[in-house]
Amino acid sequence: MTKPEPVLSPARRAAIAPFIAMDVKREASLMEKAGGRIVHMEVGEPCAPPPRLAREAAIAALGGQPVGYTDALGLFTLRERIARHCHETYGVEVDPERVAVTTGSSGAFIMAFLALFDAGARVAIQNPGYPAYRNIFGALGVEAVDLPVDSSNHFAVTAAAVEKADAAQKLDGLLLMSPANPTGVMQSDESLREIADVCARRDIKFISDEIYHGLTYERPAQTALAFSDQAVIVNSFSKYYCMTGWRVGWLIVPPELTRIVERLQQSLAISAPTLSQIAAQAAFDASEELEAVRAGYRRNRDILLDGLPGFGLSELAPADGAFYLYCDISKFTDDSTGFCHELLHRAGVAATPGLDFDPHRGRYALRLSYAGAEADMVEALRRLKDFLRR
């Protein structure tokens, strides 16, 4: 009798929760392959193509010359352009030497977390919040400390909440996103200033996730660098610049971290994809095209904000920016996972259950992405209305 092969046991650090939005995307894609018509509202991915200038720059770079590695911190011309962007957009001066180009914001998070936190560190995150934060922390042995947000605090983190959490048990860091995923909520400039002050006073390392900057609808977003030169900034070309699959983002770090991040990048990634960096640099000059895309998101947001309350989805987080609506569905269910499964299979609308963003209260919520086409928003409303009536 043949002895069975031993089962390979994974490392304990690998036992992280799934990224549910990506699971929903996979299931929806399988349904499409089988001939179904799915309205995609599950993933935060622009439906618009990359800017024309970015595409043309990439094509030109493939004209026969080698496309090899760049320096570990990225093309210096791109780092200079990112620094110039900070000055033009926020009035903040940044030395290009402080900029690191990464493999998307995901790579930026990993570099920042490894550079700043040892295993066992405690880092506060807003809840509901982006699920990959918690999952990456879990893989790195870092403890995520929830800062709950809801309608009572406009779904925004306050300096008082950070101070209270630190007083209860010392925090090593704070990770804040504005505009936020899944809520779309923006921190006010004053709240960012107060939070930066608390972090400086209480020796809390402050990471500001700014990947949805540019996608705001009432007022522009401000960078945390305006209030703290010690803040670590994460940004990306995925959202505003419509370059998700190109996997290119950036970090801005204090000078004392530059060499540390460079060493980490050398071994963990070597460098961000060269072709993507070339295209990303060109994307900075495509503002007219990108602003037209943003105007489309605003129309999509308005269509949903006008239509959803008419059939019971009226409890929504403020949609200040990004391209998400976070909806309270407690009048319909206490099982957002089952609700989204039925919505996909019975109505052909792919949405993400709130449990992806909040392991506790998320069973009463779902997130809708309005990064798709305007016609899809109209179709989604019709399908949602029919689904909820049934």
DSSP characters for 177-240? ESS-TTT-----HHHHHHHHHHHHHTT-EEEEE-TTTT-BSSS----GGGT-TT-EEEEESSST
CA distances to 64, 297, 359, 388 from 301, rounded to whole Å, are: 44, 6, 26, 20
Mean pLDDT in each 10-residue stretch from start to end of the chain (390 residues)? 76 91 96 95 95 97 90 98 98 98 97 98 97 96 97 95 98 98 97 98 98 96 97 98 97 98 97 98 98 98 96 93 97 96 97 96 97 97 93
Looking at residue 35, what is its pLDDT? Answer: 95
Looking at residue 142, what is its pLDDT? Answer: 98
Looking at residue 1, what is its pLDDT? Answer: 59
Question: Which residues have a Cβ under 8 Å from the Cβ of 113 and sit 6 or more positions away?
Answer: 123, 136, 137, 140, 142
CA-wise closest residue to 109 among 134, 145, 126, 77: 134
Looking at residue 24, what is its pLDDT? Answer: 97
As given in the structure block, the two tokens for residue 307 are: 């239509």
CA-wise closest residue to 282 among 129, 55, 40: 55
pTM score above 0.85: yes
Looking at residue 41, what is its pLDDT? Answer: 97
